[in-house]
Chains A and B, each alone.
Chain A
Amino acid sequence: MKRVVSIGVVVALAAGCGGGEKAPAGGEGGAPAAAAAAPLGNASISGTIAFTGAVPPNPTIDMSEEPACAAKHAGGATDPVVVVSDGKLANVFVYVKSGLPADASFQAPATPVEIDQQGCLYHPRVLGLMVGQDLLIKNGDPLLHNIKAVPTENRGFNISQPSEGMTSTRSFSTPEVMVPIECNVHGWMHAWVGVRPDPYFAVSAEDGTFTITGLPAGTYEVEAWHETFGTKTMTVTVPADGQATADFSFSPAA
């Protein structure tokens, strides 16, 4: 079942409808069932997130209360807060913060974005989706998780998934970077969801790279967000059908 979790002030005031209302199944009532409309352009922004300085160690997790999860972490579990390989930082949410045509509007894709709970950790840990796009929440563990979204601009939710293979679907109605997701049964579990009104966002991969495609020519403010190291922004100009580079670099707080 699809439901609109919430609607923030902008949408609520404009549309006069709001948080908590259920959207009918099948994507009617505002959420399109069809694929997203064609992109505004063919330009792209890509880059690499570098990390300099000493990599802070990730905390170990005591999963002894959950043998089924502990068994999925040979050699012991750690909380992957900072994922760096070869000086490149993963799990950075990069998005076009401003610069798009003022009259541009975008339809959410019909395909959901998935988040899985495996070994008492979220996969992926950082993800992006569009306003109104479904977030498909899966439980890959044979035990109880609760999934609690704690947004400020959106309405949150707190649902339970006590069995393996259970799925739930939720969505967000207002742009928000980032919506924290947590599990209260396992206090170490954290994920972050970037909710955007447009499709111009990406998450840096293990090798630190990201690509944002389908942009029209223009000058954009691009922001990179990391859960520990905060945000960095830069201004990037992209020619029509061209490619621009936005390399970011993070380092441990002084």
Chain B
Amino acid sequence: MSRWSLAGTATLAAAILLASPLAAQDTARGRVLYQQWCAGCHGETGAGDGEAAHYMWPHPRDFTRALFQIRTTESGDLPTDDDLRRVIDVGMPGTAMPAWRSKFRPADRDAIVAYLKTFSRFFAGQTPTPLEFGSAPGGPSDEDLAEGRRVFVDELECVKCHGQRGRGDGPSAPTLSDDWDVPIRPADLTMNWTFNGGGTVEDIYRRLRTGLDGTPMPSFSDVLASNVITDAQLWQAAQYVRSLSPADPPRPRDVVRAALVPAGGLPAGPEDSAWAAVEEYYIPLVGQVVKRPRWFTPSVAALWVKAAHDGERLVLRLRWDDRTESPDPEWDEFFQLTMAALTDADGALPSAQGPDRVAVQFPVRLPEGPELPFFLGGDAQRKTSDIVWTSAPDAASVGTATGLGTWAPGGAVEHAAAFLDGEWLLQIERPLASSDTTVMPDLPEGLPIPMAFQVADGSLGEGAVRGAVSAWYAVYLDVPTPARVYVQPIVAGLLTAGLGLIVVIRAQRRGRAKGDTVEGV
């Protein structure tokens, strides 16, 4: 029975594969698992058109054309079974595809691989050959990185799509679409933990060699074969790309410390060199998927926050990657095509680009217990006080909200914004003492003050509801350091050392006593 229903949905090639009893067994098991776990996004027939597909951007893979981004094979070649297994195991960072390693036993995962290959006739009878990659050279040295940068900019012209600083904002970026005519953005190379195929130097080198089939990213293998650059130079380019991201993936910390600076010493703007001395905090962002319209693939994945105060005023410096200074007419067609590729089942999609937008959210009344306002703009019982900045017009003001989308602008807030090479820098400033505690709270020193963020990219139609959000974090305004802070550790250290000495001496005595006993026996 299952043989016939499968043959009904699969291709001629699949039917021929099924002629082998072993293959039939594999794909039957794979079919059950696929329909249960994969079809919701990738579709029952593997065409990438599952129920959830059009909430996602980029869309889930359509398996019927056998075009796969992450391979070890030449551009245009099929992936190996190992390539497909790897993607199922580790997922596709930067997309909605999760890692399934903890979900599927290897045999089940292999059965899914066998089944999804039946979706395309191209797999019939094929055994793709992986490329030889060699291994990564040591380093990189400063010279390696400098040469890698030169290759990136001058030889391979990666900047055409990926931009001068690698943030995916190159001049060709607004024109790109994938093989299904859905707009696609070049990777932001400064966030290697979002690279679809992994963020190591080896991963990057492999993507350069194989290209990402189905996308505009080409293979550079021919460039080596033609001696335009050497293999060593391609590795240097990979090392340079890797160097654009932090050495280790950033980890969020709950509390953003606002450094205390002397009166009059606050940074004057987002690009003030005084910010260099202030610690930066990583705030991961996710799509807002609670309130409709939900948004599963937000444009902005990370926010970096610095804070400082002088006892009178709090200054926040926000930094985030955004390919567009929205709205940008150059991205109009990209915007329209992207909206056309998405479902409006959650509510009407915007018809025009809007401004970029950031909300910095505090509770209107600081909680005395653990109960915080709802993290998405609060509710009627517990309002939030949001400082909202928009790029066009360039304005910031503070107002209250009782849920996402209810915020209304109030008094203006001092701010300054700068956009360069796919990066926003925004400085927001407010007095610690509130002029109206029904709109914004006083900000006490020496206590964690709840703080959360929402970020929207107007060129993707994001706004107050459809956008990226953070959980609650806290900002802690440093207090002047009292002398006891320095004395107490010393006292504690001396005490500990003294007590330790006593313990050790006693133990030695006891040991000797025991030793005597043993010898006596």
Q: Taking beta carbons and an 8 Å cutoff, which residues of A are in contact with B?
A: 1, 3, 5-6, 8-9, 12-13, 16-22, 65, 143-144, 146-150, 152, 155-163, 166-168, 184-187
- Residues 450-472 of B at the A interface (beta carbon under 8 Å): none
Question: A20 to chain B: which residues have CB within 8 Å?
Answer: 73-74, 76-78, 126, 128-129
Question: Which residue, of B74, B121, B160, has the highest number of chain A Cβ atoms within 10 A?
Answer: B160
Question: A5 to chain B: which residues have CB within 8 Å?
Answer: 76
- How many residue pairs link A and B with beta carbons under 8 A? The number is 122
Identify whether the interface residues of A are mostly helix, strand, loop, or mixed: loop
Given A12-B122, A159-B211, also A19-B13 (CB < 8 A): no
Cβ–Cβ contact A158 & B216, under 8 A: yes
Residue in A12, A156, A159, A186 whose beta carbon sits within 8 Å of that of B121 in the complex: A12
Cβ–Cβ contact A156 & B223, under 8 A: no
Question: B74 to chain A: which residues have CB within 8 Å?
Answer: 3, 20, 157
Residue in A19, A22, A143, A159 whose beta carbon sits within 8 Å of that of B222 in the complex: A159
Is B513's beta carbon under 8 Å from chain A? no
B335 → chain A, closest Cβ, in Å?
15
- Residues 46-100 of B at the A interface (beta carbon under 8 Å): 65, 67, 73-78
Residue in B65, B176, B221, B223 whose beta carbon sits within 8 Å of that of A184 in the complex: B176
Cβ–Cβ contact B216 & A184, under 8 A: yes
Please count how many residues in chain B sit with their CB below 8 Å of the partner chain's CB atoms: 42
Question: Which residue, of B73, B124, B155, has the highest number of chain A Cβ atoms within 10 A?
Answer: B124
Is B156's beta carbon under 8 Å from chain A? yes
Residue in A21, A150, A160, A185 whose beta carbon sits within 8 Å of that of B219 in the complex: A160
21 contacts between A and B (CB under 8 A): A13-B16, A17-B125, A18-B122, A20-B128, A20-B129, A146-B216, A149-B76, A155-B76, A158-B215, A158-B218, A159-B75, A159-B211, A159-B219, A159-B221, A159-B222, A160-B218, A160-B219, A161-B223, A162-B157, A162-B223, A168-B222
Residue in B16, B67, B157, B226 whose beta carbon sits within 8 Å of that of A168 in the complex: B226
Instruction: Other than A19-B126, A163-B155, give 10 A-B pairs with Cβ distance below 8 A.
Output: A12-B122, A19-B76, A20-B73, A65-B171, A65-B172, A148-B218, A156-B76, A156-B179, A160-B156, A187-B175
Question: B128 to chain A: which residues have CB within 8 Å?
Answer: 20
Is B110's beta carbon under 8 Å from chain A? no
Question: A163 to chain B: which residues have CB within 8 Å?
Answer: 155, 228
Residue in A12, A146, A155 whose beta carbon sits within 8 Å of that of B218 in the complex: A146
Cβ–Cβ contact B124 & A13, under 8 A: yes
Which residue of chain A has the shortest Cβ distance to B77 in the bound complex? A20
Question: B67 to chain A: which residues have CB within 8 Å?
Answer: 156
A181 → chain B, closest Cβ, in Å?
13
- Residues 385-399 of B at the A interface (beta carbon under 8 Å): none
**In the docked arrangement, what's the CA distance between A143 and B211, Å?**
19
Question: Which residue, of B74, B76, B125, B211, has the highest number of chain A Cβ atoms within 10 A?
Answer: B76
Cβ–Cβ contact B122 & A161, under 8 A: no
